[in-house]
Amino acid sequence: MSMYEYRCDQHGSFDLQTSMGDAQPRTACPECGLQVPRVFTAPMTSSTPRSVTSVLDRTEKSRYEPEVVSSLPRRPAHQRTPTAPANPALQRLPRP
C-alpha cells in the first residue's frame, strides 16, 4: 500500500492509501465530494530500514565499482571438513 496526496482548493491536502499504481489522477474530496487532483510528492524513503538501504547502496555500487579482494576470506573456526557421506554405497567410493 502506498500513500498518495490529493489537494482540494477549499479544504487543503489529504492523503489516500491505495495499492501502488492504482492511484487515480483525480479523486473525491472527503469533505466536499468534489473531484480534486493528485499532487506529486517525493517518496518517503526515510521510513526504509537502514539495513535495506545499505544493501541497495552496496548493490548499486558493485555495478561500477566492485570490491576487489587479495585473499580468500578466513574459514570460520566451527566449520569442519566434510566427512564421509551417510549413504553406505557412497562410503565405498575412493576418497582423496
Q: What is the total count of residues that contact Zn ion (CB under 5 A)? A: 6
Check binding of 29 to Zn ion (CB under 5 A): yes
| CB closer to Zn ion out of 31 and 57 | 31
| Nearest-angstrom CA–CA distance, 31 and 11 | 7
Contact residue for Zn ion among 5, 15, 31, 57 (CB under 5 A)? 31
Residue 26 contacts Zn ion per CB under 5 A: no
Pairing relation of β-strands 2-8 and 26-28?
Answer: unpaired
Per-position DSSP letters for 26-38, written without gaps between them: EEE-TTT--EEEE
Q: Is 32 in the site for Zn ion (CB under 5 A)?
A: yes
